[in-house]
Amino acid sequence: MKWAMLLLAMGTLPAFALEATIIEVPNDPYGKHELVHKSGKTTHRVIVTKRTGLSGELYTKRRYNCEKRTVQMIGTGHTLEILENQRDRWPENTVMSRSVAEDIGMLACSEV
């Protein structure tokens, strides 16, 4: 009986792991945004998202300072491997109202 329960649990784990966290982005009506990774404290919150749209998939990595309400783009790429190899230096900017950065920042700065 224990083995049957273990096999059942193992079979259902991948289904839960495949569920993506969808990010509501009203300022980008043609794209579907998903959370890939989120880490760090509110002063240095790093978030990786995947946008799927007419031009395909694009991964983006941003660093938010939730206390100062700023964002810094770390990189973008059509794959996670390309994204992780980015070495561009983007400036830190204030999060603008009614922007994609604000929509994603709401999730980035939440405790979820």
pLDDT of 90 > 70? The answer is yes
Which pLDDT score is estimated for 79? 95
Please, are residues 27 and 104 in contact by the beta-carbon 8 Å criterion?
no
Which pLDDT score is estimated for 48? 97
Q: How confident is the model at residue 16 (pLDDT cuts 50, 70, 90)?
A: very low
Supply the mean pLDDT for the chain.
85
Beta bridge partners of residue 76, listed in sequence order? 60
Mean pLDDT of 18-35: 90
pLDDT of 8 > 60? The answer is no
Mean pLDDT of 3-12: 41
pTM of the model: 0.80
Which pLDDT score is estimated for 28? 95
Neighbour tally for 74: CB within 10 Å: 19
pLDDT of 7 > 80? The answer is no
Please, are residues 60 and 105 in contact by the beta-carbon 8 Å criterion?
no
